[in-house]
Amino acid sequence: MNTPPLPVVLPLFMAALLAALEQLRSRRRVLDVLSLLTALAVVVFDLLLLERSLAATLVYWFGDWSLMRGFPVGIAFVIDPAAALLALLASLLTVAALLFSWHHFHAVRTYYHTLMLLFLASLQGFALTGDLFNMFVFFELMGVAAYALTGYKIEESGPLEGGLNFAVMNSLGGLMVLLGIGLLYAKTGGLNLAWIGAALHGKPVTAPVGVAFMLLSVGFLVKGAVFPFHFWLPDAHSVAPTPASVLFSGIMVQLGLYAVARIYWVVFSDVLAQAPVQSAFLGIGIVTLLAGGAMACLQRHLKRLLAYSTVSHSGLILAGFALHERQALEGTLLYIFGHGLIKGGLFIATGILVYHFRSVDEKQLHGKCRRLKITGVLFLLAGLALAGLPPFGTWAGKGIIEESARGLGYGWLVPFFALGSVLTGGAVLRAGGGIFFGLGHLDPFSSSAPASGEEGAEAEKSRGPTPVIMILPMALLLLSSLGVGLLPQGQQVAALAAARFVDRDGYRHVVLAGERRMTPPLSRVARPGLGGGLIAAAGAVALATLFLAPGPLHGRATKRIKSIVRGPVVLLRRVHSGYIGDYVVWFTVGTAALTLLALLSW
């Protein structure tokens, strides 16, 4: 059986079938069951692909159109362990999202299941393809499904505005990708990643090649939501239905960053000078990490808080890729997996709040959710995991990245990583402590803007206990993230995936010559230390305590501290104005700056 195309073909076929079944009168459970079974089947296919890719990278040519006199005339899926891991994360999160939506929606509207399966197919294709134009096609398909899911509650203004901002910014990103593809095609005459890399190898670097890389990077960095291309993300993630937000923050953003890393290593890593790329991406990563963390602390709308924490973690992931080293890549892959599972669990928790209270406003819900003890405990646990508490996957991934940074002479990055973890973890713990346990006082620094009223139509309000089928996916996701960090096998797979990922010659040989290099057996890997994770988690608890507990941030001291931080806070809020025109200006500034850097450097 040819397994490689099945993770894409099956959900596409089932999406078409489910669209036809929308005409049935009693269709709800039929669509639930079929979509869930489809996602589970994709999980099985992804596990098979991961197992087979550990032995050797898989290359599948559609229609048997492979090589003609050494030139790739067809479209190929190139599946190494890194690609298979990300595809597996996408399918696992889709299963969790569909399981949660089983009882979540008061009334599932037209084409919800179809859109979810289309989104799953595009995520799978984007992760597995070895063709640049094919990557763009799946990028656009992903966008179309995501825009429709964001604006799913079409009768409300918030989702429409969020969907519009999402579509405008990502369409601009798609345009940049298309321009970059055009430049590379004009230079090499091919679209296969391995072919383009081999065609550019050994030739003098020209400005169009450097500009092509920057255009491709800008396009995918928009999807990756890094500064200054991230403004669309909080608008979209905060208004999308909860199951869609699970996928948006859990895997879609990370795939944008994965695309930048994949294209750099296969095509440009032996063509372009490393230093300018590394400096630019490390700088962008750190700014994104801090800006996202600070904005998370200023939110009272839980989904916006989680969305900004995703922005912050995108900065860390980009910095991990930017270190350009195998061990750092190993940690980054592990971090993507651990973070995606945790973030999916946190968004499901917000869906449970919507189910019970039709609100995700931290101040409105303060102390009102004490009866949701299991959800509250899991929420706080997820907040600690987000901060990097051992032995969750975030701890293992961040610890490995930090060790790599120290070894490369970038030890100054470690405090920034820790600060980002403290800010995002502390914001989640503050919200959880107040909402689920009524701790402390209302946060004196969060936004005063109203943050409720848009969630009522998503779910039926209930005063009964939370259905098990809503809590179960949250618990399973957190347990999975725990397993990723706890089990050494997870780190071993990530180490092998990273080693194969950085082997550009091996990638090109297996695609263009069919030569499979022997893969060394998985060896024991050094585990990261516990100290960094424990310190970051303790810092997050301290920050949450500072917000909630009576003391330094309350009474007269509040005014004094507010006067000190007022300037940076006002600046951050002005930058994040919510106007699409401002977003386009920032996009233009960022694109011009990176393109200018490309022209000056090469």
User: Rg of the chain's alpha carbons, rounded to an integer?
Assistant: 23
Evaluate if residue 397 carries a pLDDT over 90.
yes
pLDDT for the residue numbered 454:
46
pLDDT tier for residue 450 given thresholds of 50, 70 and 90 = very low
pLDDT for the residue numbered 573:
81
Better pLDDT: 170 or 457: 170
Strand 58-61 relative to strand 76-79, pairing = antiparallel
pLDDT tens per residue, range 21-77: 887 777 778 889 999 999 999 999 999 999 999 989 999 999 888 888 888 888 999
Evaluate if residue 90 carries a pLDDT over 50.
yes
pLDDT tier for residue 453 given thresholds of 50, 70 and 90 = very low
Q: Where are the beta strands (DSSP E) in 23-182?
A: 58-61, 67-68, 71-72, 76-79
Peptide bond into 488 cis (omega under 30): no
pLDDT tier for residue 284 given thresholds of 50, 70 and 90 = very high
On average, the pLDDT of the chain sits at 88
Nearest to 62 by CA among 79, 45, 77, 46: 77
Give buried/exposed letters for 144-160 (b at 16+ CB in 10 A, else e).
ebbbbbbbbbeebeebe
pLDDT tier for residue 571 given thresholds of 50, 70 and 90 = confident
Q: How far is CA 101 from CA 28, 153, 243, 369, 455, in A?
A: 11, 15, 6, 21, 14
Q: Check if the beta carbon of residue 374 is closer than 8 Å to that of residue 471.
A: yes
pLDDT tens per residue, range 354-390: 888 888 999 889 988 999 999 999 999 999 999 999 9
HSE-up of residue 550 (Cα within 13 Å, Cβ side): 1
pLDDT for the residue numbered 451:
46
Give the Cα separation of 449 and 22 in Å (integer).
39
Give the Cα separation of 102 and 105 in Å (integer).
7
Q: How far is CA 559 from CA 263, 552, 566, in A?
A: 49, 11, 10
∠ CA 304-307-311 to the nearest 5 degrees? 135
Question: Which of the 8 DSSP states describes residue 23?
Answer: T
pLDDT for the residue numbered 442:
62
Evaluate if residue 448 carries a pLDDT over 80.
no
Evaluate if residue 202 carries a pLDDT over 90.
no
Evaluate if residue 206 carries a pLDDT over 90.
no
Q: What is the mean pLDDT of residues 514-519?
A: 70
Evaluate if residue 305 carries a pLDDT over 50.
yes
Better pLDDT: 579 or 123: 123
Q: Position of tokens 């409720």?
A: 452
Evaluate if residue 341 carries a pLDDT over 60.
yes
Q: Check if the beta carbon of residue 250 is closer than 8 Å to that of residue 169.
A: no
Amino acid identity, position 470: M
Question: Which of the 8 DSSP states describes residue 266?
Answer: I
Peptide bond into 81 cis (omega under 30): no
Q: The pTM is what? A: 0.93
Nearest to 230 by CA among 140, 292, 318: 292
Nearest to 82 by CA among 498, 551, 461: 498
pLDDT for the residue numbered 459:
56
Better pLDDT: 75 or 460: 75
pLDDT for the residue numbered 321:
94
Of the candidate ranges 18-22, 114-118, 175-179, 403-407, the one whose mean pLDDT is the lowest: 18-22
**What residues pair up with 79 in beta bridges, in sequence order?**
58
Q: How far is CA 149 from CA 111, 168, 236, 309, 458, in A?
A: 10, 15, 10, 21, 12
pLDDT for the residue numbered 520:
63
Which token pair is 238? Answer: 């905060």
pLDDT for the residue numbered 196:
95
By three-state DSSP, how is residue 153 classified?
coil
**What residues pair up with 36 in beta bridges, in sequence order?**
none
Which token pair is 256? Answer: 């944008």
Query: In this prediction, what percent of the chain has a pLDDT beyond 90?
Result: 61
Of the candidate ranges 123-137, 168-182, 503-517, the one whose mean pLDDT is the lowest: 503-517
**What residues pair up with 76 in beta bridges, in sequence order?**
61
Evaluate if residue 315 carries a pLDDT over 80.
yes
pLDDT tens per residue, range 102-111: 876 655 567 8
Evaluate if residue 602 carries a pLDDT over 80.
no
Give the Cα separation of 407 and 509 in Å (integer).
30
pLDDT for the residue numbered 69:
82
Evaluate if residue 313 carries a pLDDT over 70.
yes
Q: What is the mean pLDDT of residues 77-96?
A: 96
Strand 67-68 relative to strand 71-72, pairing = antiparallel
Q: What is the mean pLDDT of residues 153-176?
A: 85
Evaluate if residue 502 carries a pLDDT over 80.
yes
Q: What is the mean pLDDT of residues 576-586?
A: 86
Q: How far is CA 60 from CA 4, 66, 346, 442, 545, in A?
A: 7, 9, 36, 56, 53
Q: What share of the chain is helix, strand, coil (3-state, %, to 5)?
A: 70, 5, 25
pLDDT tens per residue, range 399-430: 999 999 999 999 999 999 999 999 999 999 99
Q: What are the φ and ψ backbone dihedral angles of 58, each rounded to 5 degrees?
A: -95, 135
For the chain, the distance separating the N- and C-terminal CA atoms, rounded to the nearest angstrom, is 47
Q: What are the φ and ψ backbone dihedral angles of 200, each rounded to 5 degrees?
A: -85, -20
Q: What is the mean pLDDT of residues 570-575?
A: 81
pLDDT for the residue numbered 106:
57
